[in-house]
Amino acid sequence: MFTFFAVALGIFAVLTLIFLAVPVRLRLTFSDRKRSLTLSWLVMDVEGNLKEKTLRLSVFDQGIITKRFKKSEEDSKKTKEEKLREKRKAEKKKSKLSLLDLWLKRELVLRVIWVALRFVLDLLRAIRWDKLGLEVDVATPDPALTGILYGQLCALKHSADYLLPNAQVRVQPDFVNQLPRGSAETVFSIRPVNVVVPVSKMFLALPKMQIVKTLIEIKRR
């Protein structure tokens, strides 16, 4: 029995270390055909396509769930007056927190803001910028102007290669089309273990009891 629990505990510890050590990657892609945001971790990918308005969950690169966001028929039939009424009702249901409350609780507010800023800074330090890809097809109605712009962008590309050695920038002229085209892709990553420390520091530093008491006072009005 003891051996079984020891093995189970060891497996759990190994899986926990794997989960915390494997980085979570965020990929942003912008082009004429695709505008997407993809979150990847282990064997799972969650992709939100802003152009097609779809959300897709994939495991081992196989689509499992695909959800398309469309306006419902009820929302499309709503008149401007009905939308205005709903907006006014939503404004009435808003929090009763006023500027006077913020001023009276300024010490608490400033402390929360300071803790939040420290959390954001710690999180930014943990984020790694893995990739930056940029492709530009220079095109104008005038081929001579296209050549001039291509030469200027090539000079900027050499500067970018020096400042951002990990960036992949490609510039090429297009004397057939009259409008420029391009695409951009960037990838950020962060290990879950690097999120645990900032979250723990923020949780311990926040004046939790004061925040709860203040919210209860505002809700009772």
Summarised one tens digit per residue, pLDDT across range 127-148 is 988 888 888 899 988 888 989 9
Q: Is the pLDDT of residue 79 over 70?
A: no
> pLDDT at position 220, please?
73
Here the tokens at position 28 are 């942003």
Question: Is 55's pLDDT higher than 80?
Answer: yes
**pTM greater than 0.75:** no
Query: Is 80 exceeded by the pLDDT of residue 125?
Result: yes
Where is 24: in which H helix or E strand? strand 24-30
The confidence score (pLDDT) of residue 189 equals 92
> Is the separation of the CB atoms in 169 and 153 below 8 Å?
no
Residue 61: is its pLDDT beyond 60?
yes
H helix intervals, 131-173: 143-163
Q: Mean pLDDT across the stretch 51-79?
A: 75
Band of pLDDT at residue 119, cut at 50, 70 and 90: very high
Please report the pLDDT score of residue 210 as a whole number: 86
**Cβ contact 150:89 at 8 Å:** no
Q: What percent of the chain has pLDDT over 90?
A: 8
The whole-number average pLDDT for the span 165-181 is: 85
Pairing of strands 128-138, 62-68: unpaired
- What stretch of H or E contains 198? helix 193-205
Closest CA to 17 of 201, 191, 208, 205: 191
